[in-house]
Amino acid sequence: MFDSVLVANRGEIAVRVIRTLRRLGVRSVAVHSGADADAPHVRAADTAVLLGPADSASAAESYLDVARIVAAALRSGAQAVHPGYGFLAENAGFARACADAGLVFIGPSPSSISLMGDKIHAKAAVQAAGVPVVPGSEGDALDDAELLDAARAIGLPVLLKPSAGGGGKGMRLVRDAAALPEEIAAARREARASFGDETLLVERWVDRPRHIEIQLLADTHGNAVHLGERECSLQRRHQKLIEEAPSVLLTPDIRAAMGEAAVRAARACDYAGAGTVEFIVPSSYPSSYFFMEMNTRLQVEHPVTELAVTAGGARLDLVEQQLRVAAGEALSFGQDSVEFRGHAVEARICAEDPARGFLPTGGRVLLLREPEGEGVRVDSGLAPGVVVSSSYDPMLSKIIAHGPDRATALRRLRAALAETRIVGVTTNAGYLRRLLSHPDVIAGRLDTGLVERHPELTVAVAADHRAGSAIDHPIESLTALALVAAALARQTALTPAARADGWTDPFTLPSGWRPGGEPAWTRHRLRVPGGEPTTVAVRPVSSGTVLDPADHPGGAGRHQVRIGTGAVFEARSVLDGEQLRLTLDGVTHSFTHATDKAVHWLALDGDSWAVHPYDPLDELALGGAGGGAAALNAPMPGTVTVVKAAVGDPVSKGQPLLILEAMKMEHVITAPYDGTVEQLRVTAGGTVAMDELLAVITPAEPDAPAEQTTPAEPGNPTEEAS
């Protein structure tokens, strides 16, 4: 075994690898950009080496600098390098550079990485080994015309895939022949940005497929075993969301056959280490499976196998197995000793906003509560104060649950997601909890299109939180509930504390209380990102002509509340440290609460909301649009990669104007209507912040409605705060 290992990665995978190194008594060395100087993986390691400057433009590149990482390993006295996943994990040049420097690369050989990293040659190699492959294009470096011809020959729908990489990046499903040229161009851009290689191939698309992968282990002594399968069919845009083991689809015979096929694929490239062979499986004919690709590294979802599979009667640590194989040890078990024990399910927590089309998010973690409990494991790269940047992949952590059966594992994972509190960064945790509650997921009726077929799951509904309510009030979603909670928290902040005897001077209250009359309304104009400004009016409940001091201890108490021009209903709130308890119709909701300047953050059942005070003057200053023009603001922080228009250009509705990239995701900004580019505030290569002005479009006709301007202000209660 090694004495010292450098981990060439960051975030949760670096923390996870360091955990195993510490358990084995191996000294760990972290590397970091200047921006990550106080990151959790740096704190966890025994030694840390700075790679590059702190500016965000170069932060990600620090982890891709082969020469600096190799120099850091040599400088720190490391004997081996663990690449984690992402960054340089499947870079044959990096593996070769480690070997040339006398370092052990904890992974397969450069030749194995090269062969399986090229999807075109990988398909040919495994096909020659008797592994079934998806029908698709043949040949290297097809130009656009050849890709078009191949797609027509295969028949639509087809899937465009980068030859040089995986993880769903650059993949495009095309059902319309007319869209092929633009999709090919977009796929090449993403492939070039993600892998430095724009080579594409095209494959037949299998409708309603299931994505099932086989975990492998192989040593340098000729031994190779498979560790069963993981079901990864719950995904969006080819990015996995939920993984589980075993799959409810496979019979023991199909599992054995797919495992044997995966081992043949590994032997076809003389593989050593931990790896995964991915298959596409028709839901109706699971025995008709096709090889998709081989990932020559540790997978994100490897904890699912670690919790669900035993070998020789013991649970496996796949990082430990990687280390032992790299150190020249033979596998200590054979295929006959591998078996499933119970069921495991994993959820990937990502910095993205499901309510806004899963756009990337970011920010500083103000408060963090990660779940604990029987059968629950958390692999995390988070800590309070950590800044989540658009420079890196959006995955922040993973929550994995194990149980004696699938129903128990799912129930434990849903409960763990409900306990998750990540305040300061919007994540998908609440969405994943709702996805895991869907009847098709519970029944195991999965396929890779299920997520897209159920967009309603992106909305945090309030119905289940108001079960049994006999009062009809205008709270249709938890977002509206959060707006009310934030308004009452703001009200509390404005309310003076009671004296020791419990009395509060009514003339100091923000309600504008007047002798002989009802308290006046205090209007809070609020918005959540991507939502319309909303007026939440609040006034305390009075006892006759005198405010009841018992209703206002420290600003807490009973209030009448009104959203917009809707019905008035009663709510009670208590703000106690980081907990805000809001009671409606006899049901109390306990939010986690934090403030960041004027922004109120609220979290409940995995969901979180940033509730901002809204000022139309701020938006005018930001957008600078007038006369019916539309201000196009950045829907996410990121980098402008392509600009397709210039000031003065005529544009048509839906025409792409520029492309914004964040966390390896492209977002196309389009014209809201026919018009002219009045302002263009960005250039290709520049970075933008959330809501930053990108462009202003003037409509072609003076009376044309501006679809993206500030919405009309809804009606307000008749009484204003005095």
- Say yes or no: 582 and 529 in one domain: yes
CA-based nearest residue to 130, from 291, 293, 335: 291
- Percent residues over pLDDT 90 in the chain: 64
Three-class SS state of 305: helix
Q: Average pLDDT, stretch 227-246? A: 95
Looking at the structure, tell me whether residues 679 and 602 fall in a common domain.
no
Both tokens assigned to 174: 């095309």
Range name among 58-62, 137-141, 461-465 with the lowest pLDDT average? 461-465
Q: Which tokens go with 710?
A: 């500030």
Whether 721 maps to a domain, the answer reads: no
Cα gap 312→245, rounded to integer Å:
18
238 — pLDDT class (breaks 50, 70, 90): confident
Using the structure block, give the residue that is written with the tokens 């196998």. Answer: 305
Contacts of 649 (CB under 8 A, 6+ apart): 676, 677
Q: State the pLDDT at residue 321.
A: 98
Tell me whether residue 112 is in a domain: no
Strands 522-527 and 607-613: antiparallel
Question: What is the pLDDT, as a whole number, of residue 290?
Answer: 94
Average confidence (pLDDT) over 670-697: 88
Residue 171 sits in a domain whose CATH number is: 3.30.1490.20
CATH number of 67's domain: 3.40.50.20
* 619 band by pLDDT with thresholds 50, 70 and 90: low
Using the structure block, give the residue that is written with the tokens 């022949």.
177
**How many domains are there within the chain?**
6
Residue 502 structure tokens: 């419990």
Please answer whether residues 560 and 473 qualify as being in contact, where contact means their C-beta atoms are separated by less than 8 angstroms.
no
Spell out the residues 6+ positions from residue 484 whose beta carbon is closer than 8 angstroms to its own. Answer: 475, 536, 561, 563, 571, 582, 584
Please tell me whether residues 27 and 46 are part of one structural domain.
Answer: yes
The predicted-structure confidence for 521-550, as pLDDT tens digits, reads as follows: 899 999 998 788 999 999 988 654 344 444
Strongest mean pLDDT among 393-407, 450-464, 657-671: 393-407
363, with CB counted inside 10 A (0-12, 13-18, 19+), is buried
Q: Which residue has the tokens 């370092």?
A: 103
Q: Mean pLDDT score of the chain, rounded to an integer?
A: 87
CA distances from 238 to 107, 160, 209 (A): 25, 12, 12
Return d(Cα 558, Cα 17) in angstroms, integer. Answer: 51
Helix (H) or strand (E) holding 303: helix 302-308
Q: What does the alpha-carbon distance between residue 212 and residue 228 come to, in Å, rounded to a whole number?
A: 10
User: Which residue, of 275, 307, 340, is where some domain finishes?
Assistant: 340
pLDDT at 234 over 80: yes
For residue 505, the model assigns a pLDDT of 60
- How confident is residue 702, by pLDDT bands cut at 50, 70 and 90? low
CA 198, CA 187: separation in Å to the nearest integer? Answer: 8
Q: 356 lies in which domain range? A: 342-459
Cα–Cα distance measured from residue 406 to residue 343, given in angstroms and rounded to the nearest whole number: 5
Q: Kindly report the pTM of this predicted structure.
A: 0.83
270 pLDDT higher than 90? yes
> How would you class 469 by CB atoms within 10 Å of its CB: exposed for 0-12, middle for 13-18, buried for 19 or more?
middle
**Residue 7: HSE in the Cβ half-sphere, 13 Å Cα cutoff:** 31
Query: Is residue 363 one of the residues assigned to a domain?
Result: yes
Within 10 angstroms of residue 401's Cβ, the number of other Cβ atoms is: 29
What local confidence, expressed as pLDDT, does residue 513 receive?
A: 57
What pLDDT score does 499 carry?
Answer: 52
Same domain membership, residue 609 and residue 474: yes
pLDDT at res. 284:
86
Q: Are 536 and 522 in contact, with CB atoms under 8 Å apart?
A: no
pLDDT bin (cut points 50, 70, 90) of residue 582 is very high
The residue with greater pLDDT, 161 or 442, is 442
